[in-house]
A and B are shown apart, each in its own frame.
Chain A
Amino acid sequence: MSIRDIFRKNQKKKYATIPTEKAKNDVPEGIMMKCPECKKNVFTKDLMKNFKVCPTCDHHMKMTAWERVEIFLDENTFESMDDHLETVNPLNFPSYTEKIKADAQKTGLNEAVLTGIGKLEGQQVVVAIMDSHFRMGSMGSVVGEKITRAIEKATELGIPFIIYTASGGARMQEGVLSLMQMAKTSVALRRHSDHGLLYISILTHPTTGGVSASFASVGDINIAEPKALIGFAGRRVIEQTVREKLPEDFQTAEFLLNHGQLDAIIHRKEMREKVASIVHLHTTKEGAKW
């Protein structure tokens, strides 16, 4: 027997394996998924049909930007924009470029947001969808630029702008450049608003830091998915600063609704229909005459 035979894949097992407790519960990737909330296993196929909402506990799982395009917009109407923008490493942060490259490969996106034009029940809208699988959805120069260009496109076309936020906040590796993206997106939003146009912000899990403290919170209509974590400073930071026990539901969408920060919490299954209705209420041309 040569040394190669030992590594041959198709050789017959000469021993039995007893799966560990952990391995028993772990299902091969792709076929089943485990709900991070109730730990129940669900068939991936069923889960996708259910909009990635756990059928047992109604937990809204994270979605990729492309998955959202699929469930939110009319079929085959989405055209993405600015996929060619490339992130650089302005502060020469160690291994930053490599991390970006890895995430780009993993997600198929050039950065943590996907922008473009599409139709929502026949109504033309510009959308920006943040993806927390890409560097926790953090906002650096490219994210800020893509969102700003999307807003400008909506202003130019005179149509509503809708954003799905999911972000840990400003991107540390780009320093103050990231901070300034908060202002950059805001000046664009101001111009969009001055044209009398509609801006809907849909806050999903998690929306925190510099993103919650800029465009995510200033929609004409602010909507959130159930139980989404939304806040400025992280729970641990606050607890350590004020040395106070925080309530259980602190910084959840429900907490924010009770504290006047949200217009509504909408279940993912109803999101498309409700948002389409809001857009309709703002764009119907009948309003001019009585």
Chain B
Amino acid sequence: MVKVLPFEEPIVQLKTKIEELKAYTESADVDMSVEIVNLEARLEKLEQEIYENMEPWDRVQVARHPSRPTTRDYIEFLCTEFIELHGDRFYGDDAAIISGIALFEGKPITIIGHQRGLNTKENIKRNFGSPHPEGYRKALRLMKQAEKFNRPIICMIDTKGAYPGKAAEERGQSEAIARNLVEMAGLKVPVISVVIGEGGSGGALAIGVANHIHMLENSTYSVISPEGAASILWKDASLAKQAAEAMKITAPDLKKMGIIDTVIKEVYGGAHKNIEAQANYMRETLITSLKELVNLTPEELIENRYSKFKNIGEFNE
């Protein structure tokens, strides 16, 4: 059973009612088909109303939905011949980041993304998608490899943040993230980042210094989680809903602010309702993006990234 989110409850109630009527029509000798048709029309309208007017907090919940598709799901639907490559060649292999080479539309790409687990056991192995420094160093190693072989890089962002822990600090979490930002700025191949779930702060940005940044409609990208912001600003984590609105963390908000390039449409109710259809929406965006970027020279790609990030920031002078 897929978890039902609070804002979806009216839809679910109506769906249950329709099912009940259908069952009743079949078992008893009463014809309710007119009512059913009416209710189905109402359901369609209700879905439209709810899903097209989602509040920021609703989107946060969809972004955190336990069945929300992960990097691996998109790799499966978008790529062929995926070969996972492990290890940073320094210290370890971080399962919170999945990475490798694959064919996308028949052409080689390097693909890197945060990877959450699907259940508790896998989440322990993958540390809930929160990388340690070795995860970022593995990502950078593969980016350099992609640069050598002149393949585009696609990054999928889906993390609550880089892991805050003793071991991570000892091995230089800050340095690992910082190094990626600087090195990504200089990559001579196209880099595209897609936020597919939660984009949590520096841990997300460390694979996000891209030529094009896209976001799934119900994903978020922020300097801190709504809960964290609420507890810092108002000393009350339960005000997360208000924080989610105030912080402007949803894809439509970030698009308005000019931070991201495209909002990728989601299937009604969120990507988890139909992963294949969602992957196809993403495929279109990626192809458009790549077609544009592969024609640029290495210098133009670097310049493009430079001006993109140089232009972010608001001030008076």
* Residue contact A281 to B108, C-beta cutoff 8 Å: yes
Residue from the list A258, A262, A280, A287 in contact with B150, Cβ < 8 A: A287
Per the bound structure, the CA–CA distance linking A171 and B103 in Å amounts to 42
Per the bound structure, the CA–CA distance linking A222 and B88 in Å amounts to 12
* Residue contact B101 to A281, C-beta cutoff 8 Å: yes
Which B residues lie within 8 Å of A287 (CB)? 107-108, 150-151
Binds A, one of B58-66, B90-98, B196-204, B234-242: B90-98
* Residue contact B90 to A264, C-beta cutoff 8 Å: no
Which A residues lie within 8 Å of B84 (CB)? 264
Which B residues lie within 8 Å of A281 (CB)? 81, 83, 101-103, 108
* Residue contact B294 to A290, C-beta cutoff 8 Å: yes
Residue from the list B85, B91, B137 in contact with A263, Cβ < 8 A: B85
Which A residues lie within 8 Å of B91 (CB)? 259-260
* Residue contact A263 to B86, C-beta cutoff 8 Å: yes
Q: Does A95 sit at the interface, judged by CB under 8 A?
A: no
Per the bound structure, the CA–CA distance linking A282 and B85 in Å amounts to 14
Residue from the list B85, B92, B148, B294 in contact with A264, Cβ < 8 A: B85
Interface residue ranges of A215-271 to B (CB < 8 Å): 220-222, 257-264
Q: What is the total number of residues of chain B having a CB less than 8 Å from a CB of chain A?
A: 31
Which B residues lie within 8 Å of A277 (CB)? 81, 83
Which B residues lie within 8 Å of A5 (CB)? none
Per the bound structure, the CA–CA distance linking A127 and B107 in Å amounts to 26
Q: Which residue of B lies closest to A277 (CB)?
A: B81
How many A-B contacts if CB must be within 8 Å? 72
Per the bound structure, the CA–CA distance linking A209 and B103 in Å amounts to 37
Given contacts A281-B101, A284-B108, A286-B107, contact A260 B89 (CB under 8 A): yes
Q: Which residue of B lies closest to A263 (CB)?
A: B85
Interface residue ranges of B76-129 to A (CB < 8 Å): 81, 83-93, 101-103, 105-108
Q: Does A274 sit at the interface, judged by CB under 8 A?
A: yes
| Most A CB within 10 A of own CB, among B87, B103, B105, B145 | B87
Q: Does A214 sit at the interface, judged by CB under 8 A?
A: no
Which B residues lie within 8 Å of A112 (CB)? none
Per the bound structure, the CA–CA distance linking A290 and B103 in Å amounts to 12
* Residue contact A264 to B83, C-beta cutoff 8 Å: yes
Q: Does A117 sit at the interface, judged by CB under 8 A?
A: no
User: Smallest Cβ distance from B106 to chain A, in angstroms?
Assistant: 6
User: Smallest Cβ distance from A194 to chain B, in angstroms?
Assistant: 9
Q: Which residue of A lies closest to B291 (CB)?
A: A290
Q: Does B290 sit at the interface, judged by CB under 8 A?
A: yes
Which A residues lie within 8 Å of B88 (CB)? 260
User: Smallest Cβ distance from B157 to chain A, in angstroms?
Assistant: 22
Per the bound structure, the CA–CA distance linking A278 and B92 in Å amounts to 22
Q: Does B158 sit at the interface, judged by CB under 8 A?
A: no
Per the bound structure, the CA–CA distance linking A262 and B93 in Å amounts to 9
User: Smallest Cβ distance from A212 to chain B, in angstroms?
Assistant: 13
Which B residues lie within 8 Å of A274 (CB)? 83
Residue from the list B81, B86, B87, B151 in contact with A280, Cβ < 8 A: B81
Per the bound structure, the CA–CA distance linking A286 and B81 in Å amounts to 15
User: Smallest Cβ distance from A195 to chain B, in angstroms?
Assistant: 10
* Residue contact B149 to A282, C-beta cutoff 8 Å: yes
Q: Which residue of A lies closest to B85 (CB)?
A: A263
Per the bound structure, the CA–CA distance linking A220 and B151 in Å amounts to 14
Which B residues lie within 8 Å of A220 (CB)? 145, 148-149
* Residue contact B107 to A260, C-beta cutoff 8 Å: no
Interface residue ranges of B146-162 to A (CB < 8 Å): 148-151
Per the bound structure, the CA–CA distance linking A198 and B150 in Å amounts to 12
Given contacts A264-B83, A278-B83, A284-B108, contact A259 B92 (CB under 8 A): yes
User: Smallest Cβ distance from B79 to chain A, in angstroms?
Assistant: 11
Q: Does A196 sit at the interface, judged by CB under 8 A?
A: yes
Q: Does B217 sit at the interface, judged by CB under 8 A?
A: no
User: Smallest Cβ distance from B256 to chain A, in angstroms?
Assistant: 29
Per the bound structure, the CA–CA distance linking A7 and B85 in Å amounts to 64
* Residue contact A260 to B93, C-beta cutoff 8 Å: yes
Which A residues lie within 8 Å of B93 (CB)? 257-260
Given contacts A196-B149, A290-B291, contact A261 B89 (CB under 8 A): yes
Q: Does B138 sit at the interface, judged by CB under 8 A?
A: yes
Contact with B along A177-220 (1 / 0, CB 8 A): 00000000000000001001010000000000000000000001
- List the 10 closest A-B pairs by CB distance, nearest first: A260-B87, A263-B85, A260-B88, A260-B92, A281-B108, A290-B294, A290-B291, A287-B107, A281-B101, A260-B93
- Can you list 23 residue pairs at the A/B interface with Cβ under 8 Å? A193-B148, A220-B148, A222-B89, A257-B93, A259-B87, A259-B93, A260-B87, A260-B88, A260-B89, A260-B134, A260-B138, A277-B81, A278-B83, A278-B101, A281-B102, A281-B103, A282-B108, A284-B107, A284-B108, A286-B107, A287-B151, A290-B105, A290-B290
Q: A220-B145, A259-B91 are in contact. List 10 more A-B contacts (CB 8 A).
A: A222-B89, A260-B93, A264-B86, A277-B81, A277-B83, A281-B81, A281-B101, A281-B108, A282-B149, A290-B290
